[in-house]
Amino acid sequence: MAAVPSTLMPGTISDAVRHSYADHHNYACELETQTPSAFMRNGAGPAIMTFVPSGIVYTDSYDNGSGPVQVGDDYSGAAVLNFSNATSGLLTFDLPPKGNTASGLDPDHQSIPFSKYAQSYNSATKVLTVRFQLAFPHCTLPVNAIFHAG
């Protein structure tokens, strides 16, 4: 496989929605409808990826006895994929998400665990395909993106 260029590459992230139900809570994690993004990775080191506003949304809906309640987090901006091994690590955003902290993740809510990272680069078409899964507490969100190097 040809080496992936160490330059910022524009591209698109595919949309995805996942739901789960546990303990009278409806959870949803989603990537908004196909959105623009950018990606850069130098060798086996960290990668940088961008997400548009409301790019990743995690919500928790439930009835608190007084009526329906919905809390949610909206992740967007630049994020770094910090690898703990070849296929997993933490996706860490520059800033905390907007919203009211539904995720129950780390105290600053800026990092989401990821796994199953894979990338493939076609040197003839200069297209990089990136795939991984984000592990929210109650749903796993697939991320599929295509970036263009030239």
Note the pLDDT tens digit of each residue in 114-143.
Answer: 999 999 999 999 999 999 999 988 889 999
> Could you give the CA distance from residue 91 to residue 109 in angstroms, rounded to a whole number?
11
Specify if 4 maps to a domain: no
Domain membership flag for residue 1: no
pLDDT more than 70, % of the chain: 91
Q: Are 9 and 119 in contact (CB under 8 A)?
A: no
CA neighbor of 6 nearest in space, from 54, 39, 36, 32? 39
Identify the pLDDT of residue 22: 82
Tokens of 48: 């940088």
Q: What is the pLDDT of residue 3?
A: 64
Quote the pLDDT of residue 147.
Answer: 95
Residue 3 lies in a domain: no
pLDDT of residue 63: 85
Instruction: Name the residue range of residue 138's domain.
Output: 9-148
Residue 143 CA to residue 114 CA, distance in Å, equals: 10
In this structure, is residue 2 part of a structural domain?
no
Which residues make beta-bridge pairs with 94?
Answer: none
The pTM of this model reads 0.86
Does 107 have pLDDT greater than 70? no
**What 3-state DSSP class applies to 81?**
strand
- In single-letter form, the type of residue at position 28 comes to A
Q: Is residue 43 part of a domain?
A: yes
Q: By mean pLDDT, which of 13-22, 27-36, 93-102 is the weakest?
A: 93-102
Would residue 74 count as lying in a domain? yes
Q: Would you say residue 64 lies in a domain?
A: yes
Domain assignment of residue 37, yes or no: yes
CA 10 vs. chain centroid, Å, equals 16
Structure tokens at 43: 């060798």
Average pLDDT across the chain, whole number = 85
Number of domains in the chain: 1
Q: How many CA atoms lie within 13 A of 52 on its CB side?
A: 14
